[in-house]
Chain A
Amino acid sequence: MALDKEFKEIPGTIVFDAEQSRKGYWLNQFCMSLMKAENRVRFKANERAYLDEWKMTEEQKQAVLDRDLNRMMALGGNIYFLSKIGATDGKSFQQMAGSMTGMTEQEYRDMMVKGGRKIEGNRRLGEDGDAQRPGKK
C-alpha cells in the first residue's frame, strides 16, 4: 500500500518516498561522492565534467550547477544527501535550509531566533500560512 496521500498535502514539503528515491538515485549518489576530500577537489575544479560522470538527468545536473536546492528536491534529491553539496561550498545547514524559503540568510536566522516558523496555516495545502507559496531559489 502506497504512502498515505496526506503526505502530499503538507505545504512546502516533499516527502522522500520510494518514488522520489528512484527519481533521485544518481543525484543522491553523486552527492555521497562529495564526502571524500579528493572528490570535492575534482568537483570544484570542473563541476560540469564531474557531473557528466554520473547517470543524472540533464535537469538534475543543471539544478546542481545552479545550486537550486528546491529544484534538486523536486527532482528526487534528499536533503541529507544534498547537504554534501552545501558542505563542499562551505555552507552551514542553516544557510542551506534558509536558501529554500525565499528569505535572506539574515531574515531566516532572525525567524529562528524568534522561535521559528509557526505551524499555524502550514499544516495542509490551501491554508493561509507562510509556507504555502512555491519555493524560490
Chain B
Amino acid sequence: MARITASLYTSHIPAVGAAFDLGKTKEDYWKPVFAGYDFDKQWVKTHKPDVIFLVYNDHATAFSLQMIPTFAIMTGPEFNPADEGYGARPVPKVIGDPELASHIASEVIQQDFDLTMVNEIDVDHGLTVPLSCVFGEVKQWPAKIIPFAVNVVQHPVPSGARCFALGQAIGRAIMSYPEDINVHIWGTGGMSHQLQGPRAGLINREWDNAFLDRLIDDPKGLAKMPNIEYVREAGSEGIELVMWLIARGAMADVVSGGSKPKVAHRFYHVPASNTAVGHLILENAA
C-alpha cells in the first residue's frame, strides 16, 4: 500500500527562482537563503519519494478571474513550467501521476470534499521554485508530482480548519492506494509577506516562528486560527500559510493517531525579496 513518509514545507518565492536560474545562488544576499536547502540535497537521496503531492497556489498564471477553483487537483500526465511574463523558467517539465491523482480525487470527493479536476495546466513559481530549492539543478525531477492548487487569491479563501480536514482526507486516500510507493506531501507558500499597499514589506518573525512551533506540536490548535489573523499578522500574502495545514493534516499522528513526526530540518531566514523564508521537513515515525 502507498505510504506517506514525510511532509515538507517551504516558501515559493519568484525572486528565489530567478536567483537560481541566473546563477546567483553564491552571492552574499542569496547564499544564506539557499544554504537552508543544503540539507535537502542529501535527504531526498536517503528518503527518496516516488510521488510528491505538492500543494501550492497559482498566482494569476493559469487561473484568471474567469474560473476560481477553491481546490484543484491536477490529474494530467505532464505539466509545463509557466511563462509568468518573464519567459518560462528553464526547469524540467513536471511529470504527473494520473492514476494516483484520480484515485485521490475519487476518494476525497467520496469523503465529501469538493475538488476541481484539472488535466491541462502550466505550473507557476508556486510549484517549480520549491522543486528547484529542494532538488537543485536536475535534468529531470526525480519524482512524479501531483500538483494541488488552492485559491488564496480571492477572499474568502478556505480556512485553516478546512485545509487541515482536507489534508486528513488526502492522507486516508493515499493510504488506501494499492501500490507500494513512497509518497511525500508538500505545503508551500508564505511565510509572512505583504506585496501591496503602504504595508508592503511586512515581516513578522515572532509570529512565523510560533506558527512553525505550533505546526509541529499543535496542528489541531493551529488549524483553528481564523483567516483574519493570518492577514493581519503575516501580511495580505501571508494567507498562503493555510495551505501548509493540508500537508500537516496528512501526517500519521493526525490521520491515524500515530506518534508525532520527527523534525528532520527547520530553517528560517529574512529576507528573500519581500518575504520571510520558512522551511521544515517532518518525517512520519517509522
Interface residues of A (CB under 8 A from B): 3-4, 6-7, 10-18, 21, 25, 28-29, 31-32, 34-35, 37, 40, 69-70, 73, 78-81, 83-84, 87-88, 92-94, 96-98, 100-102, 108, 111-113, 115-119, 122-124, 131-136
Contacts and interface: CB of A to CB of B under 8 A. Distances in A.
Given A21-B65, A131-B202, A94 B154 contact: no
Interface stretch (B182-190, B226-234, B247-255, B278-286): B226-234
Given A34-B85, A80-B153, A112 B14 contact: no
A25 B65 contact: yes
Contact of B201 (A69, A73, A88, A116): A116
Nearest to A72: B196
A41 to B, nearest CB: 13
25 contacts: A10-B232, A12-B199, A16-B153, A21-B65, A28-B64, A29-B66, A70-B198, A78-B60, A79-B195, A79-B237, A81-B64, A83-B195, A94-B15, A97-B274, A100-B197, A101-B198, A108-B201, A112-B270, A115-B203, A116-B203, A117-B202, A119-B204, A122-B202, A124-B232, A131-B199
Interface string B71-102: 00000000000011110000000000000000
A14 B83 CA distance: 27
B84 A35 contact: yes
Contacts of A93: 14-15, 195, 273-274
A12 B15 CA distance: 23
A87 B156 contact: no
B236 interface: yes
Contact of B155 (A3, A98, A116): A3
Contacts, number: 164
Nearest to A102: B198
B146 interface: no
Given A7-B228, A73-B196, A111 B201 contact: yes
B271 interface: yes
Contacts of B274: 93-94, 97, 112
Interface in B8-47: 14-15, 18, 29
B271 A11 contact: no
Contacts of A37: 83
Contact of B154 (A14, A18, A70, A116): A18
B205 interface: yes
B121 to A, nearest CB: 14
Contact of A117 (B84, B153, B203, B226): B203
A98 B232 contact: no
Interface in B216-254: 226, 228, 231-233, 236-237
Given A15-B231, A123-B232, A135 B273 contact: no
Interface in B169-221: 192, 194-205, 207
B61 interface: yes
A21 B202 contact: no
Given A3-B155, A135-B198, 7 more contacts: A12-B200, A84-B84, A100-B200, A112-B274, A118-B203, A124-B232, A131-B198
Most buried by A among B29, B60, B86, B197: B197
A92 B272 CA distance: 12
